């Protein structure tokens, strides 16, 4: 019995002891510590966010490309609402009563709902509707408005590169110090890459509120307030009229077109087809339109100009093959090679070529796009005696040169989601299992140069994006110097920008002349005579990317004029056959339009044919 009493005593002691701890803590907090009262005072200061206007966007010629349009959020403080005339409110805001009820429910259920704090009831009411509502706003106590801006696009073009803005998601809020629920953020295109410049900085106004949440005045006469900093405007390197014209040309086709000004690296146009009207992804319709675009089997959201890095460059690769072969002295500019209908791998295997005049030097080989010649070029390149590491080292050297010209590497363009394309390495070929075994020494690579010889003519395990095509062409046009391609003009004073620094490739300037001559020949008397423009010396190269799943892809690279080139272009049209069928006409029309501002009468038939062609069934 005695132990039992002790146990009762211990339990009572625990209760009293722990209760005393609470009591002591309460005494400390409520009686001795004054700081809580001060903190409570501060709590009565309510922060109000001031939203800056987002920067606007103009094209290289000063045309306004991205505008802000004022829309209005309808905000209410639930506890301040009195005798609400729901019918009238819905009618004024042009909203159905079910929408009103649903929104109200959603607001009440949302995380952090607080009936004493402002809650957003409707978002993005257009100005036309709002102006009517504003007259009657006084009849709705507890309702307020907040002006916000949505983007609008005077030209319905360039959706892929402009991108769009949307509300931040929880992940972005958690990851940043800046964003809060309901803020807008650039999700793709330049809206995303230049988010920090475009958005500006939110401001803060500290208001003192009374117990009933009414504003009494500003805290410390606004001493602690922060002005909002408006977003900066930016200027694109894009020519919006050219962009619009190329989009017309690419109508009803799939593919990408990128044009660059070689002397600056400025991207003049960047088209991915199929495209969509950027105005679709603004305001309230964003969600629905987004879902529609995502469902579209033609994948209009996919930016083919930057992201489709799986198509081989085909014969557009040949000028580059020639350049690096010359640089490595695998052959000289006067190296000749008899074609005879193709490149013979063995008695039974031939990489075919079309009938053409003989390729007695590099220039002629490019002009006639001789397959045998460039297979042989690659062979000579890889098996060059100067490499102690043999063809393995040869291939590594080849990969390095390609990277120099932007192939197989991610170009540092100021747009998100850029593909690096595909360039195979010797390590890759070492891991592939071949049907034929080489019974040679261990050090010898498992592969032979002839097995990968189609790389010389731009086929096989190569992949390039239209941007890479254009960049490579721009380097050739500039005879070896280049700027990284970019879409927004860097500030002139910004010397740290990678876009204002010139770079040089490893191929010396002297080797470019024969290659450029060859490319001129392609247009004057070679495979792309269709690309000829009177009075303008166009240099180009056709290409056809083999497509085992259907019609081949049509490729074309070009620049013009030959001296002091103003534009370099890369075109890729999916399932369009030979490079000369669609690639060359589209490229040359773009060049003509850009350089002369119009299409000559003589070529209008060609223009009409391209505009009307429909490659999407």
Partner 1 sequence: MSTKKVDPDWLTIFIYLMLVAIGYLAIYAADYNELYPKAWDVARNYGKQFVWIGICMLVALIIQVFDTRFFTAFSYVIYGAVLLLLVATLFFGAEIAGSKSWIRLGFFNLQSSEFAKFSTCLALASFLSNKKTDLDNFKHQLIAAALILLPTLLILRQGDAGSAIVFVSLVLVLYREGLSGGFLLVGILAIVLFISSLLFEFPYIIGLLGFILLMTLVLRQGFQLRNMLFFLLPVVGIFVGSIYLEPLTFLIALGVAAILFLFITIVSKRYTVGLLTLTLFCSIYVKGVDYIFNNVLKEHHRNRIGVVLGTIEDKKGVGYNLNQSKIAIGSGGVWGKGFLQGTQNKGDFVPEQSTDFIFCTVGEEFGFVGSCILMGLFIILMLRIIALAERQKSDFSRIYGYGVASIIFFHFFINMGMTIGLVPVIGIPLPFISYGGSSLLAFTILLFILIKLDSERLLYLR
Taking the C-alpha atoms of residue 284 and residue 362, their distance in angstroms, rounded to an integer, is: 58
Residue among 359, 418, 369, 47 nearest 203 (CA): 47
User: Strand runs (DSSP E) across 495-613, as ranges?
Assistant: 503-504, 539-545, 553-560, 567-573
Q: Which is nearer to Zn ion, 339 or 569 (CB)?
A: 339
Q: Does 101 bind partner 1 (CB under 8 A)?
A: no
Query: Which residue from 47, 79, 196, 412 is in contact with partner 1, where contact means CB under 8 A?
Result: 79
Number of residues that bind partner 1 (CB under 8 A): 39
Q: Within 322-361, which residues bind Zn ion (CB under 5 A)?
A: 339, 353
Q: What is the phi-psi region of residue 81: left when phi exceeds 0, alpha when psi lies from -120 to 50, beta otherwise?
A: beta
Asked if 425 and 462 count as a contact pair (C-beta separation under 8 A), the reply is no
Q: Does 370 bind Zn ion (CB under 5 A)?
A: yes
Number of residues that bind Zn ion (CB under 5 A): 4
Q: Within 11-40, which residues bind partner 1 (CB under 8 A)?
A: 11-12, 14-16, 18-19, 21-23, 25-27, 29-31, 33, 35-37, 39-40
Taking the C-alpha atoms of residue 526 and residue 517, their distance in angstroms, rounded to an integer, is: 12
Query: Which residue from 62, 82, 435, 563 is in contact with partner 1, where contact means CB under 8 A?
Result: 82
Q: Which residues contact 584 (CB under 8 A, 6 or more apart)?
A: 528, 530, 531, 540, 542, 556, 558, 571
Q: Does 216 bind partner 1 (CB under 8 A)?
A: no
| Torsion over CA: 299, 567, 578, 313 (sign) | negative
Q: Which is nearer to partner 1, 2 or 534 (CB)?
A: 2
DSSP state of 496: T
- Helix 240-249 vs helix 583-596: angle between axes, to the nearest 10 degrees? 150
Q: Does 362 bind Zn ion (CB under 5 A)?
A: no
CB-count exposure of residue 329 (10 Å: 0-12, 13-18, 19+): exposed
Provide, rounded to whole angstroms, the least separation between the CB of residue 218 and partner 1. Answer: 18
Q: Does 372 bind Zn ion (CB under 5 A)?
A: yes
| 353 contact, one of partner 1, Zn ion, none, CB 5-8 Å limit per kind | Zn ion
Q: Does 115 bind partner 1 (CB under 8 A)?
A: yes
CB-count exposure of residue 57 (10 Å: 0-12, 13-18, 19+): buried
Provide, rounded to whole angstroms, the least separation between the CB of residue 74 and partner 1. Answer: 20
Provide, rounded to whole angstroms, the least separation between the CB of residue 99 and partner 1. Answer: 23
Query: Which residue from 67, 87, 114, 600 is in contact with partner 1, where contact means CB under 8 A?
Result: 114
Q: Which is nearer to partner 1, 28 or 298 (CB)?
A: 28
| 498 contact, one of partner 1, Zn ion, none, CB 5-8 Å limit per kind | none
What are the CA-CA distances from residue 278 to residues 62, 284, 319, 581 (Å)?
Answer: 19, 14, 37, 30
Query: Which residue from 49, 56, 68, 80 is in contact with partner 1, where contact means CB under 8 A?
Result: 80
Query: Which residue from 211, 355, 433, 612 is in contact with partner 1, where contact means CB under 8 A?
Result: 211
Provide, rounded to whole angstroms, the least separation between the CB of residue 332 and Zn ion. Answer: 19
Provide, rounded to whole angstroms, the least separation between the CB of residue 32 and partner 1. Answer: 10
- Helix 318-327 vs helix 390-404: angle between axes, to the nearest 10 degrees? 120
Taking the C-alpha atoms of residue 302 and residue 308, their distance in angstroms, rounded to an integer, is: 8
| 23 contact, one of partner 1, Zn ion, none, CB 5-8 Å limit per kind | partner 1
DSSP state of 462: -
Q: Does 375 bind Zn ion (CB under 5 A)?
A: no
Query: Which residue from 1, 98, 171, 212 is in contact with partner 1, where contact means CB under 8 A?
Result: 212
466 membership: H or E segment, kind and range = helix 466-477
Taking the C-alpha atoms of residue 411 and residue 565, their distance in angstroms, rounded to an integer, is: 22
Question: Which residues of the chain form contacts with Zn ion (CB under 5 A)?
Answer: 339, 353, 370, 372
Question: Which residues of the chain form contacts with partner 1 (CB under 8 A)?
Answer: 4, 7-8, 10-12, 14-16, 18-19, 21-23, 25-27, 29-31, 33, 35-37, 39-40, 43-44, 79-80, 82, 114-117, 209, 211-213
């Amino acid at each position: 019995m005695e132990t039992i009493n002790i146990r009762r005593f211990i339990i009572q002691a625990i209760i009293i002891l722990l209760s005393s701890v609470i009591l002591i803590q309460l005494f400390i907090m409520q009686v001795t510590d004054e700081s809580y009262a001060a903190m409570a005072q501060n709590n009565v200061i309510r922060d109000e966010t001031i939203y800056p206007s987002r920067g606007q966007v103009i094209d290289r010629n000063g045309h306004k490309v991205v505008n802000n349009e004022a829309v209005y959020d309808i905000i209410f403080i639930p506890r301040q609402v009195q005798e609400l005339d729901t019918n009238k409110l819905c009618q004024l805001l042009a909203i159905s009563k079910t929408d009103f009820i649903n929104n109200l429910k959603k607001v009440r259920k949302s995380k952090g709902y607080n009936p004493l704090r402002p809650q957003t009831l409707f978002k993005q009411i257009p100005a036309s509707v709002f102006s009517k509502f504003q007259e009657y706003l006084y009849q709705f106590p507890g309702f307020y408005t907040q002006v916000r801006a949505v983007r609008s696009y005077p030209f319905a073009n360039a959706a892929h590169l402009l991108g769009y803005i949307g509300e931040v998601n929880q992940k972005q809020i958690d990851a940043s110090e800046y964003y809060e629920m309901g803020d807008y953020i650039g999700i793709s295109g330049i809206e995303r890459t230049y988010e920090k410049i475009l958005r500006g900085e939110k401001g803060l106004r500290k208001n003192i509120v009374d117990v009933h949440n009414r504003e009494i005045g500003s805290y410390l006469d606004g001493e602690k307030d922060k002005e909002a900093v408006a977003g900066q405007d930016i200027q694109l390197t894009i020519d919006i009229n050219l962009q619009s014209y190329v989009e017309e040309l690419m109508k009803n086709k799939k593919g990408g077109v990128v044009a660059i000004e070689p002397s600056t690296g400025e991207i003049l146009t960047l088209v991915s087809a199929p495209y969509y009207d950027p105005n679709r992804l603004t305001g309230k319709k964003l969600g629905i339109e987004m879902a529609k675009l995502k469902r579209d089997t033609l994948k209009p959201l996919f930016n083919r100009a930057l992201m489709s890095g799986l198509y081989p460059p085909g014969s557009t690769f040949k000028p580059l093959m020639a350049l690096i072969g010359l640089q490595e002295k695998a052959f000289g500019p006067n190296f000749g090679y008899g074609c005879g209908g193709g490149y013979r791998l063995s008695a039974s295997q031939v990489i075919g070529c079309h009938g053409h005049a003989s390729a007695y030097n590099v220039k002629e080989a490019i002009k006639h796009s001789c397959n045998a010649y460039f297979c042989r070029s690659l062979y000579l390149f890889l098996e060059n005696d100067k490499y102690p590491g043999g063809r393995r080292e040869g291939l590594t050297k080849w990969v390095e040169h390609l990277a120099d010209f932007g192939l197989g590497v991610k170009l540092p363009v100021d747009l998100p989601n850029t593909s690096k394309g595909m360039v195979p390495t010797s390590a890759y070929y070492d891991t592939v299992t071949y049907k034929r075994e080489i019974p040679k020494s261990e050090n010898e690579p498992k592969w032979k140069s002839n097995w990968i010889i189609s790389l010389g003519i731009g086929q096989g395990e190569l992949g390039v994006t239209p941007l890479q095509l254009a960049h490579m062409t721009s380097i050739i046009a500039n005879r070896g110097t280049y700027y990284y391609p970019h879409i927004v003009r860097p500030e002139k004073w910004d010397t740290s920008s990678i876009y204002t620094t010139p770079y040089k490739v490893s191929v010396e300037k002297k080797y470019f002349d024969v290659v450029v001559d060859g490319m001129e020949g392609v247009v004057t008397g070679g495979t792309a005579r269709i690309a000829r423009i009177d009075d303008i010396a166009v240099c180009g190269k056709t290409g056809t990317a083999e497509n085992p799943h259907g019609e081949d892809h049509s490729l074309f690279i070009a620049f013009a004029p030959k001296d002091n080139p103003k534009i370099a272009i890369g075109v890729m049209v999916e399932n369009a056959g030979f490079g000369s069928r669609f690639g060359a006409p589209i490229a040359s029309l773009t060049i003509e339009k850009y350089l002369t501002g119009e299409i000559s009468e003589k070529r209008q038939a060609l223009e009409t044919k391209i505009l009307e062609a429909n490659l999407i069934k």
